[in-house]
Structure 1
Amino acid sequence: MSKYKAFLRITAMALVALGVLAGLGFVERGGANMPVRDIAVQVNGASGVRFLDKDMLLKQVVGGTGPVIGTPVSQLDEAGIEHKLQAIPCIADVEVYHGLDGILHVNATQREPVLRVINADGSGFYIDKNGFTMPLSSEFTARVPVFTGQLKEPYFNSAPINVTYLRDSSGTVSRSKAMYRLSQVLGKDPLWSSLFQQVVVDADGGFELIPSVGMVRVRIGNGELAKERLEKLREFYAQGIPQADWRRYSAIDLRFKDQVVCTKRTQP
């Protein structure tokens, strides 16, 4: 190839590149002036979790951040919309962005509760899978283990609290953290997650699991050895007592080393 032809080829490539850049600049300027013509809302989360739906989310977008439809995308405060939506207690994460077609995209991910706390005075809250507190909802009740009994766990409306960092006045693990740890043990095992939907907490912080079959109370202590003690129950169940026979007992105590202590129900 001659030097002249090489020069022409390089010049042509440069002109094409300049044309592409100019076109992109035009698209960018045109896109910035394009008004928002629609809002596409997507709500993500675990199956069965419905604290938030598309209509509720859309109402939050158009109801408190000023006009959206018809506003040029360059004048739209997308970060402000994200900040407003992030403050909704049931939202774990949210992303707001626009496309070149004038559509504003709002993608929100719901938080996933793993347990519900009901205090002795009737107040309560959820704790999500990451250990953060979240309020109860008038719109939806999550199907998660319910912890009741001698509980006076505080809930702070100002912001979610991560219970994994909480300790009581003596420096020991808080009850909220202990409940969260136990919910992790129950949730990771298909048998326990289907069998135990209620946990009663006594005045000393001990846990009593209430199975869905029968009214027996399964005592496991403060939860520190929950996994090991429940393995004793699994072996006991496999070797000697089916679930249908649990109604013969008022309590099954797993707190003693290498023992399963059963208390027979008193006949009326």
Structure 2
Amino acid sequence: MKRMKRFLRPLAIVLGITGAAVMLGFVERTTDRTPLTTLDIRVHGGEGVHFIDEMAVRRAVMDHGIAVLGAAAGDVHIAHIEERLRNIPCVADAEVYHDLDGTLHVIVKQREPVVRVLNGDGSSFYIDEDGWVMPVDPDYTARVLVATGWIREPGAVNGVYSVYADDSLAQATCSDEIHRIASFIRKDELWNALIDQLVVNADGEFELIPRVGAQRILIGDGSALEQRFAKLRLFYSEGMPKADWRRYARIDLRFADQIVCTKRNSPNNP
């Protein structure tokens, strides 16, 4: 009897696995033959990000080479649709799948820009939160930090690319540092509300222009941002309340453990 039990137990396991495999195969074949009758589109992105809407996604899906709705699920090339959607510059990622009810689900994640760069040659482009350069949209303008000044970057003329793509460079590029500074500002509630513009001056250093106060805040390069902005926060909380906000034309954060302020109409700032 014990020998019989030892024999029946592995046999039951094998039969169970075989049955499950047969059932999965049946479900897969049934799903592949199911006609697609409904298109469920969801577009995700940060608050206020509207580069692409459901109608644009629908057009991209329908421009697939076959009539998607009405076709058997197995005849629709999911990977091709996902690739088509991911090739849209403002799309960070896309997922497409169908279910037993005949619904084709399309989930699109938009890129979220952190800065708009106004290039020296007159062109313009965004850099998203992950460091990807993307073109501007003629129908929609994202409300983000603007970078101007002595900027000579390739922009988005050759499509979407990462500002961190070339790790062989000994020094960070201008786009690298613009993205680093803009990302730091965006993550802080105070700086995101206060800083309006990022300027690259003729020396290749970065200056901030706040929405109030009319100062230029010189931060130098994109390093030691936490320390430099900590000094600025302390200055705003303890120094500025005791003085007129328009008293200083320039606030220099480049030096360790000190802030150098230049008064308006001083010899150094006529």
Which bin holds the TM-score, normalised by the shorter protein? 0.7 to 0.9
Q: Residue 117 of structure 1 contacts residue 126 of structure 1 at CA under 8 Å; is this kept in 2?
A: yes
Q: Indicate the residue corresponding to 1:209 in structure 2.
A: 208
Matching of residue 191 in structure 1 with residue 190 in structure 2? yes
In the alignment, the residues of structure 2 paired with residue 244 and residue 175 of structure 1 have an alpha-carbon distance, to the nearest angstrom, of 35
Structure 1, unaligned stretches of length 5 or more?
A: 2-10
In the alignment, the residues of structure 1 paired with residue 44 and residue 132 of structure 2 have an alpha-carbon distance, to the nearest angstrom, of 18
Please give the TM-score of this superposition, normalised by the length of structure 2: 0.85
In the alignment, the residues of structure 1 paired with residue 193 and residue 255 of structure 2 have an alpha-carbon distance, to the nearest angstrom, of 25
Q: Indicate the residue corresponding to 1:5 in structure 2.
A: none
User: Percent identity between the aligned chains?
Assistant: 46
Amino acid at match of 2:180: R
Amino acid at match of 1:140: Y
Task: Say which is worse superposed, 176-185 or 16-25, in terms of deviation.
Answer: 16-25
Amino acid at match of 1:92: A
In the alignment, the residues of structure 1 paired with residue 199 and residue 109 of structure 2 have an alpha-carbon distance, to the nearest angstrom, of 31
Q: Residue 65 of structure 1 contacts residue 81 of structure 1 at CA under 8 Å; is this kept in 2?
A: no
Cα 1:243–1:191 change in 2 (3 A) is farther
CA shift for structure 1 position 31: 2.5
Structure 2, unaligned stretches of length 5 or more?
A: 2-10
In the alignment, the residues of structure 1 paired with residue 179 and residue 218 of structure 2 have an alpha-carbon distance, to the nearest angstrom, of 17
Cα 1:67–1:256 change in 2 (3 A) is same
Cα 1:238–1:73 change in 2 (3 A) is same
Q: How does 1:68-217 map to 2 (within 5 A)?
A: 68-166=68-166, 171-217=170-216
Could you report, residue by residue, the CA deviation over 1:42-67 in whole angstroms, capped at 9, with x for unpaired residues?
11122221111111111111124321
State the secondary structure of the residue aligned to 2:251: strand
State the secondary structure of the residue aligned to 2:257: coil
RMSD of the TM alignment (CA)?
3.3
CA shift for structure 1 position 184: 2.4
Could you report, residue by residue, the CA deviation over 1:119-155 in whole angstroms, capped at 9, with x for unpaired residues?
1232111111111111111232112111001111112
Q: Indicate the residue corresponding to 1:239 in structure 2.
A: 238
Matching of residue 61 in structure 1 with residue 61 in structure 2? yes
Please give the TM-score of this superposition, normalised by the length of structure 1: 0.86
Cα 1:147–1:20 change in 2 (3 A) is closer
In the alignment, the residues of structure 2 paired with residue 157 and residue 68 of structure 1 have an alpha-carbon distance, to the nearest angstrom, of 32
Cα 1:65–1:205 change in 2 (3 A) is farther
Q: Residue 166 of structure 1 contacts residue 177 of structure 1 at CA under 8 Å; is this kept in 2?
A: no
Could you report, residue by residue, the CA deviation over 1:206-245 in whole angstroms, capped at 9, with x for unpaired residues?
1110001132111111222332122111112222213983
CA shift for structure 1 position 15: 9.8
CA shift for structure 1 position 188: 2.5
Q: Residue 168 of structure 1 contacts residue 174 of structure 1 at CA under 8 Å; is this kept in 2?
A: no
Q: Residue 166 of structure 1 contacts residue 173 of structure 1 at CA under 8 Å; is this kept in 2?
A: no
Cα 1:244–1:95 change in 2 (3 A) is farther
Q: Residue 118 of structure 2 contacts residue 125 of structure 2 at CA under 8 Å; is this kept in 1?
A: yes
Cα 1:82–1:13 change in 2 (3 A) is closer
Q: Indicate the residue corresponding to 2:43 in structure 1.
A: 43
Amino acid at match of 1:145: L
In the alignment, the residues of structure 2 paired with residue 168 and residue 123 of structure 1 have an alpha-carbon distance, to the nearest angstrom, of 26
State the secondary structure of the residue aligned to 1:59: helix
Q: How does 1:13-32 map to 2 (within 5 A)?
A: 26-32=26-32
Task: Say which is worse superposed, 204-213 or 226-235, in terms of deviation.
Answer: 226-235
Count of paired positions: 267
In the alignment, the residues of structure 2 paired with residue 19 and residue 226 of structure 1 have an alpha-carbon distance, to the nearest angstrom, of 61
Amino acid at match of 1:37: T
Cα 1:126–1:17 change in 2 (3 A) is closer
Amino acid at match of 2:60: Q
